Amino acid sequence: MADLVVKPDPFTGEPSAVGQRLHAVLDGDRVVGDLRRYFGIGLPPGADAFTGGRFEHLAGGGDRRQVANRFTTEDLIAVQTLSVTVPAPVALDLLEGPLGTQLCELLRGIPADADLSDADASIVADGSPAHQAWSLLESQYKVGWVIAGKLLARKRPRLLPVYDRVVRCALGHPPSFWTELRTALRKDDAALHHRLLSLRQSAGLPETVSALRVADIAVWMAHPAPGHRCP
C-alpha cells in the first residue's frame, strides 16, 4: 500500500536506519559494475546506456554558475531522463512565470557548492529555502513529491538527493530523509560519503557525478525488478 501514500516527503514519515540500509546496498558484489553499466562505461558497441546517465551532465549541469539559480529547458529535459515529466503548464510557469521567479529567489538561498555531508543542518531543515522550494514545487499541478525532488536534485546535485519510490522502498521513510541521510553521510568522519566517492573512482565515473548520485544509482540498480511491492 506504500504507493497510496498521498504526500510522502523528506520531512515526514516512518523512522528508519537510512545509513545502515545504504551500506547494505553498497556491500553488494555488483555495485561497481552496476555504476559502470548505468553510465555506459565498457559496454560493447551499440549497447545502450541508461538515459539517467545524462541527468547531471546535460548542457553542463543544472548547477553551473550561469543557471544555478533558475530553471531552464535543459533542466526539464534532464528530469525526463529519470522517467518523469513536468506538466506543460508548470514547465511554462517555471521558465516564464511567477513560479520561476519565486524559485529563483529560493535557489539563491541554497548553496550550490556544498556537499550534503558538509552542509550545516539548517540548510536542509524544515522551513529552510530548500524545504520551501520543495514544498512549492510539490504543490504544483500534477507535480508531487517525486518530480519536486528530482527537479531540486538537478539544481543542487551535491546537496539534495533524488528521493522517489525506489529510494523510499530501499532506504525507508524517516521523519526527515534529507536530515537522516546527512547524519549518515557524516558519521565516523564522513565514512559513508568517502565510500561513495571511492566507488565513483573505482567505477571510473567523472567527478561531476556527486556522492548522492552514486548512492541513488547504486540503490536503483540493486532494486528488485518492476512489479515488486515494497513491504
For residue 22, which amino acid is it? L
- Which of 199-220 are b and which e, b meaning 16 or more Cβ less than 10 Å from the residue's Cβ? bbeebebeeebbbbbbbbbbbb
Residue 5: the pLDDT is: 38
User: What is the chain's pLDDT, residue by residue, as a tens digit (231 residues)?
Assistant: 333 333 445 655 544 589 999 999 999 999 999 999 999 999 888 788 899 999 999 999 999 999 999 999 999 999 999 999 999 999 999 999 999 999 999 999 999 999 999 999 999 999 999 999 999 999 999 999 999 999 999 999 999 999 999 999 999 999 899 999 999 999 999 999 999 999 999 999 999 999 999 999 999 999 876 555 665
Residue 44: the pLDDT is: 85
- Tens digits of per-residue pLDDT, 172-204? 999 899 999 999 999 999 999 999 999 999 999
Model confidence, pTM: 0.91
Residue 48: the pLDDT is: 82
Residue 5 and residue 146 in contact, taking contact as beta carbons nearer than 8 Å: no
Residue 228: the pLDDT is: 57
Residue 43: the pLDDT is: 86
Residue 12: the pLDDT is: 52
- Average per-residue pLDDT for the chain: 91
Strands (E), the chain: none
Residue 224: the pLDDT is: 77
Query: DSSP secondary structure string, 65-130?
Result: TTTTTS--HHHHHHHHTTT----HHHHHHHHHSHHHHHHHHHHTTS-SS--TTTS-GGGGSTTSHH
Residue 45: the pLDDT is: 80
